[in-house]
Amino acid sequence: MIPSSFDYHAPKTLEEALRLLERHGDEAKLLAGGHSLLPLMKLRLASPRFVIDIGRLRGMSYVREEDGMIAIGALTTHAEVMASELLAQKCPLLSETAGEIGDVQVRNRGTIGGSLAHADPAADYPAAILALDAEIVAATSGGTRTIAAREFFVDMLTTQLRHGEILTQVRVPIQRGRTGAAYKKLYQPASGFAIVGVAARLSLGANGKVESAAIGVTGLGVKAYRAEAAEKTLVGKKPGEKEIANAAKLAPRGIEPLGDLHASEDYRREMAIVFTRRALEAAAARASGKAK
């Protein structure tokens, strides 16, 4: 219940935060909403010497249209993403996914940047971020770089972010044309995290056939991933019951599933198939205008 002692810094600017991060190296942890870090610290599974609270950085909480994409500030809470009118209209998959995270209180406090940087293998956002081909913007004192979502997740609790880098923004594309997307999740009954969570995005051509498919899967393996085999098999086909079911079967391909008290490896794999199918069905219905 009680974290170990640490030195606390609350920088007011990004530059200051980056300097502090550089100075303290891997003895420092960034704190945003605190909903990934503080639980670990309270159980003393994490005991950083320095905590750099970036929660006070100005201008890092926003959802806005920028250069034909939607840009979301790293400090935007799950509740803000969930309630964003702009996202609801132009990238509903992200707000739908945010609504599946934790509970009301967690969504009021947890941030998109914090969640992505923590890269919990059972977190919800990574599935959507992958399915959206989002871009993640990271800053260092030398400038910023943009990381493609597909490159971002490296391993269990590990991302492309380097020491000294701060995730500042997430950019997602505007949903256009006959596109539909959905996030479907089997939640772990105690923690509410995803046993598996699948975000699917389908774009249909005028002929009703799939032009592009993107499927992000979280919970199954050590990191969230794109189910590429499943995506490929759908392209050029009408997304009927059979086609979707066949594609879903390919969702766990190549992934070594995690197993725990709540779901064995086998069960998780099977659930990845079930929830991929459900996400694809919902996405297809939305893309074809049959469902909202």
Q: Which residue's CB is nearer to another protein, number 113 or number 149?
A: 113
User: Is there binding between residue 4 and another protein (CB under 8 A)?
Assistant: yes
Q: Which residue's CB is nearer to another protein, number 151 or number 256?
A: 256
Nearest to 81 by CA among 111, 54, 45: 111
Would the CA dihedral through 49, 55, 60, 64 be positive or negative? Answer: positive
User: Closest separation between CB of residue 66 and another protein, Å?
Assistant: 26
Q: Which residue's CB is nearer to another protein, number 2 or number 206?
A: 2
Q: Which residue's CB is nearer to another protein, number 100 or number 135?
A: 100
User: Closest separation between CB of residue 151 and another protein, Å?
Assistant: 30
Nearest to 233 by CA among 253, 217, 219, 260: 253
User: Is there binding between residue 259 and another protein (CB under 8 A)?
Assistant: yes
Give the angle subtended at the CA of 84 by the CAs of 83 and 89, to the nearest 5°.
Answer: 115
DSSP state of 132: T
224: helix, coil or strand? coil
Query: In what side-by-side order are the strands of the sheet with 194-204?
Result: 179-187, 194-204, 210-218, 225-226
- Interacting residues with another protein between 181 and 220 (CB under 8 A): 186-187, 189-192
Would the CA dihedral through 116, 144, 155, 1 be positive or negative? Answer: negative
> If binding means CB under 8 A, how many residues of this protein chain bind another protein?
48
* Contacting range for another protein; rule: CB under 8 A; set: 111-119, 217-225, 227-235, 261-269: 261-269
Residue from 30, 69, 74, 79 touching another protein (CB under 8 A): that is 79
Binding mask 92-131 for another protein (x = CB under 8 A): ----------xxxxx-xx----------------------
* Contacting range for another protein; rule: CB under 8 A; set: 47-55, 123-131, 151-159, 233-241: 47-55
User: Is there binding between residue 38 and another protein (CB under 8 A)?
Assistant: yes
Q: How distant, in Å, are the alpha carbons of 41, 173, 219 from that of 6?
A: 10, 39, 32
User: Is there binding between residue 53 and another protein (CB under 8 A)?
Assistant: yes
C-beta pairs of 286-290 under 8 Å, 24+ apart in sequence? 286/180, 286/181, 286/182, 287/178, 287/179, 287/180, 287/202, 287/203, 287/204, 287/239, 288/178, 288/180, 288/204, 288/208, 288/239, 289/178
Write out the residues near another protein by the rule CB under 8 A. Answer: 1-8, 10, 31, 34-35, 38-39, 41-44, 51, 53, 55, 79, 102-106, 108-109, 186-187, 189-192, 259, 261-267, 269-271, 274, 278
